[in-house]
C-alpha cells in the first residue's frame, strides 16, 4: 500500500498505441506448437489440427472486480489470465493461447502497465500459454482488462456441464471459501490503513487466504490428473461464483437433482479460523463466497476407486433425480434447498 514516489513515470501518450503494444508484448515467447503467428498482424493465426478449439472470455474492471489499493498490478495481470484459464480447464482442455486487451486512463504511467504485463507474462510462462494478441486503448476511468483464452482438446475428453447422470458422484478440487475471506481481510486492512497509514498490519495468520485472493492459481493439473487416473468426468464447471450456484448450473444443464453434504465440503484451517473471527458461517462462505477457481465435476460411481483418497479431490455429494431437487444435507442431517447467492455485479452500485 506504500507507493514509491521516486519511481520513473513515462506518459502513455509519448508511445502511442502501436508503440505501446510493441513495447509491452515484444518479450513474449511463443511456446505452443499451435501458435503459427502471434502478436503483430491483423489477427493471430493458430493451428489446432485434429483437435477441437475451446474459447472463453472474461472482463476485469477496476472498482467492480478489483481494488488497486491492495491488488498489486503484477498480481492483477496474473489473476486476469487465471480467471480465463480456469474456464478452459473446466472443459477438460489444455489452455494454449490468450489475447489480452487493456483500457487505461491517463493516470497510469507506462511503468504501471509494465508491472501489469509482467504478471501476464509470468502467468503465460508458468501455464505455458502464448499471448497472441490484444488491444490497448485509453479509458475514461480506471483500468479495464479483457482476456480471451483458447485451448485444445480431443473430442472424447470434452466435459460439458450437461453430462451428469443420476447417482453420479459430485467432486470438487482443492478447498473453498479462502478467496472470499482473503478479500474480507484486505478490505479490513484498507479501512485500518485509511485511519492510520503508519499501522503495520500483521497478516501472518491470513497468508493462505490473501494468496487465494491476490494470486489464485487455475487448476491446470486437473485435466492431466483425470487423464492419468483414466477418469472422464460426466460433467464439469469451474467454481468462480460460489459452489452453490455452480452446482445449480450443473444440475440444470444436466437435468438432475443433487444432494450436497455439508460435512464433506473441504475447508482450509485458515478458513475455519477466519470464519470464527469474522463470526460468519463457513458453509455459507464455501457455498456463496466465489473466486475460488477450483473445478467441480461429476463422475460415475464406478470411477470412485480411481479418485478415492486423492488429496486433490473431495467427493461432496451425489446427483439425484431431477424431481428430488437440489439440496444441502446439513451436519444435523437437515435437508435445505440450495440457493444461488453468487456474485451479481449489477447489485453492487
Query: Which residues in the 249-278 window bind a copy of itself by CB under 8 A?
Result: 249, 253
> To the nearest whole angstrom, how small is the minimum distance from the Cβ of residue 171 to a copy of itself?
16
Q: What Rg value do the Cα atoms of the chain yield, rounded?
A: 21
Residue 53 contacts a copy of itself per CB under 8 A: yes
Residue 126 contacts a copy of itself per CB under 8 A: no
The DSSP code for 176 is -
> To the nearest whole angstrom, how small is the minimum distance from the Cβ of residue 199 to a copy of itself?
28
Q: Which of 64, 287, 294, 273 is nearest to 182 (CA)?
A: 273
Strand pairing category for 35-37 and 130-133: unpaired
Beta carbons within 8 Å of 345's beta carbon, 6+ residues apart? 64, 65
Residue 241 or 262: the one with the smaller Cβ distance to a copy of itself is 241
Residue 93 contacts a copy of itself per CB under 8 A: yes
> To the nearest whole angstrom, how small is the minimum distance from the Cβ of residue 48 to a copy of itself?
6
Are 120 and 85 in contact, with CB atoms under 8 Å apart? no
With contacts defined by CB under 8 A, name the span among 66-74, 84-92, 208-216, 273-281 that binds a copy of itself: 84-92
Q: Which residues of 222-241 are buried (b: 16+ CB within 10 A; e: fewer)?
A: bbebbeeeebbbbbbbbbbb
Angle in degrees, CA 85, 289, 316, rounded to 5:
80
Residue 55 or 315: the one with the smaller Cβ distance to a copy of itself is 55
> To the nearest whole angstrom, how small is the minimum distance from the Cβ of residue 5 to a copy of itself?
23
Residues 99 to 118 in contact with a copy of itself, rule: CB under 8 A: 99, 101, 103, 105-106
Q: Which of 65, 74, 79, 215 binds a copy of itself (CB under 8 A)?
A: 65
Residue 286, all three cell numbers? 464455501
Query: Around Cβ 83, how many Cβ atoms within 10 Å?
Result: 23
Q: Which of 133, 216, 223, 289 binds a copy of itself (CB under 8 A)?
A: 133
Q: Which of 44, 176, 214, 307 binds a copy of itself (CB under 8 A)?
A: 44
Residue 134 or 216: the one with the smaller Cβ distance to a copy of itself is 134
Residue 90 or 214: the one with the smaller Cβ distance to a copy of itself is 90
Residues 150 to 189 in contact with a copy of itself, rule: CB under 8 A: 150-151, 153, 158, 160-162
Q: Whole-angstrom Cα distance, residue 245 to residue 290?
A: 9
Residues 8 to 27 in contact with a copy of itself, rule: CB under 8 A: 12-13, 15-18, 20
Q: Which of 53, 46, 112 is nearest to 77 (CA)?
A: 112
Residue 195 contacts a copy of itself per CB under 8 A: no
Residues 285 to 314 in contact with a copy of itself, rule: CB under 8 A: none
> To the nearest whole angstrom, how small is the minimum distance from the Cβ of residue 347 to a copy of itself?
5
Q: Whole-angstrom Cα distance, residue 278 to residue 219?
A: 28
Q: Whole-angstrom Cα distance, residue 131 to residue 97?
A: 6
The DSSP code for 66 is B
Kindly give the interhelix angle for 110-126 and 73-89, rounded to the nearest 10 degrees. 40
Residues 314 to 343 in contact with a copy of itself, rule: CB under 8 A: 340, 343
Residues 210 to 249 in contact with a copy of itself, rule: CB under 8 A: 236-238, 245, 249
Q: Which of 124, 146, 173, 320 binds a copy of itself (CB under 8 A)?
A: 146
> To the nearest whole angstrom, how small is the minimum distance from the Cβ of residue 279 to a copy of itself?
28
Q: Which of 165, 168, 176, 160 is nearest to 317 (CA)?
A: 168
Size of the site for a copy of itself (CB under 8 A): 79
With contacts defined by CB under 8 A, name the span among 7-15, 215-223, 276-284, 297-305 that binds a copy of itself: 7-15
Beta carbons within 8 Å of 31's beta carbon, 6+ residues apart? 124, 128, 129, 130
Residue 159 or 259: the one with the smaller Cβ distance to a copy of itself is 159
The partner residues of 335 in beta bridges, in order of sequence, read 329
Amino acid at each position: 500500500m506504500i507507493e514509491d514516489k521516486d519511481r520513473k513515470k513515462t506518459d502513455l501518450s509519448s508511445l502511442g498505441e502501436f508503440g505501446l503494444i510493441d513495447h509491452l508484448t515484444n518479450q513474449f515467447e511463443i511456446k505452443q506448437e499451435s501458435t503459427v503467428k502471434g502478436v503483430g498482424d491483423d489477427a493471430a493465426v493458430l493451428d489446432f489440427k485434429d483437435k477441437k478449439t475451446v474459447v472463453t472470455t472474461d472482463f476485469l474492471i477496476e472498482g467492480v472486480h478489483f481494488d488497486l489499493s491492495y491488488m498489486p498490478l503484477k498480481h492483477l495481470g496474473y489473476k486476469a489470465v487465471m480467471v480465463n484459464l480456469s474456464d478452459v480447464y473446466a472443459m477438460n482442455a489444455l489452455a494454449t493461447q490468450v489475447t489480452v486487451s487493456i483500457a487505461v486512463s491517463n493516470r497510469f504511467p507506462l511503468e504501471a502497465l509494465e508491472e501489469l504485463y509482467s504478471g501476464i507474462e509470468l502467468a503465460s510462462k508458468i501455464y505455458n500459454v502464448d499471448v497472441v494478441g490484444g488491444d490497448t486503448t485509453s479509458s475514461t476511468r480506471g483500468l479495464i482488462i479483457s482476456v480471451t483464452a483458447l485451448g485444445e482438446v480431443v473430442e472424447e475428453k470434452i466435459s460439458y456441464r450437461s453430462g451428469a447422470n443420476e447417482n453420479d458422484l459430485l467432486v470438487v478440487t482443492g478447498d473453498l471459501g479462502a478467496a472470499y475471506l482473503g478479500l474480507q481481510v484486505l478490505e479490513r486492512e484498507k479501512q485500518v490503513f485509511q485511519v492510520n497509514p503508519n499501522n503495520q498490519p500483521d497478516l501472518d495468520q491470513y497468508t493462505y487466504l490473501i494468496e487465494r485472493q491476490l494470486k489464485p492459481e487455475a487448476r491446470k493439473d486437473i485435466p492431466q490428473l483425470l487423464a492419468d487416473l483414466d477418469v472422464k468426468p460426466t460433467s464439469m464447471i469451474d467454481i468462480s461464483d460460489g459452489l452453490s450456484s455452480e452446482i445449480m448450473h450443473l444440475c440444470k444443464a444436466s437435468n438432475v437433482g443433487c444432494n450436497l453434504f455439508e460435512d464433506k465440503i473441504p475447508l482450509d484451517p485458515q478458513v475455519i479460523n477466519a470464519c470464527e473471527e469474522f463470526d460468519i458461517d463457513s458453509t455459507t462462505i464455501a457455498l456463496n463466497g466465489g473466486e475460488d477457481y477450483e473445478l467441480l465435476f461429476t463422475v460415475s460411481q464406478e470411477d470412485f476407486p480411481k479418485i478415492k483418497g486423492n488429496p486433490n479431490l473431495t467427493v461432496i455429494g451425489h446427483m439425484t433425480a431431477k424431481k428430488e431437487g437440489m439440496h444441502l444435507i446439513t451436519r444435523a442431517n437437515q435437508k435445505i434447498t440450495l440457493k444461488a447467492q453468487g456474485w451479481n455485479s449489477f447489485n453492487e452500485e
